[in-house]
Amino acid sequence: MIVYCNGEFMEKSKVVISPDDRGFLFADGVYEVIRAYQGRLFKRAEHFDRLAYGLKELRIGGVDLNSLAAIAARLLTDNGLAKADATVYLQITRGSAPRSHRFPPTGTPPTCYLEAKPFSPPTNVQQTGAAAITVPDQRWARCDIKTIALLANTLAHQQAHEAGAFEAIFARNGVLQEGSHSSILFVKDNVLISPPLTNHILAGITRSVVHSVAAAESISTATRSCHEDELPEFQEVLMVGTTVDIVPITVVNGRPIGGGAPGPIARKLQSALHKLTQPSPS
CA 206 to chain centre: 8
103 binds a second copy (CB under 8 A): yes
Task: Pick the piece of the chain touching a second copy (CB under 8 A) from 74-82, 93-101, 124-132, 259-267.
Answer: 93-101
**Under rule CB under 8 A, how many of the chain's residues touch a second copy?**
47
Burial of 16 (0-12, 13-18, 19+ CB in 10 A): exposed
Can 56 be counted among the known catalytic residues?
no
> Pick from 35, 139, 146, 207: which binds a second copy (CB under 8 A)?
139
Site string for a second copy, 24-63 (x = CB under 8 A): xxxxx--x--------------------------x-----
> Pick from 92, 133, 148, 201: which binds a second copy (CB under 8 A)?
148
Q: How far apart are CA 151 and CA 18, in angstroms?
A: 20
Contact indicator for 54, 83 with CB cutoff of 8 Å: no
Segment 151 to 190, residues that bind a second copy, using CB under 8 A: 151-155, 157-158, 161, 180-181
What letters, b where the CB count within 10 A reaches 16 and e where it falls short, cover 265-280? bbebbbebbeeebeee
194 binds a second copy (CB under 8 A): no
Residue 65 neighbours by CB distance under 10 Å? 12
Segment 73 to 92, residues that bind a second copy, using CB under 8 A: 89, 91
Contact indicator for 114, 92 with CB cutoff of 8 Å: no
**Among 43, 83, 146, 268, the one annotated catalytic:** 146
Angle of helix 44-58 relative to helix 205-216, nearest 10 degrees, comes to: 140
Binding residues vs a second copy (CB under 8 A): 3, 5, 12, 15-19, 21-28, 31, 58, 89, 91, 93, 99, 101-103, 113, 115, 136, 138-142, 147-155, 157-158, 161, 180-181
Task: Report the catalytic residues.
Answer: 146
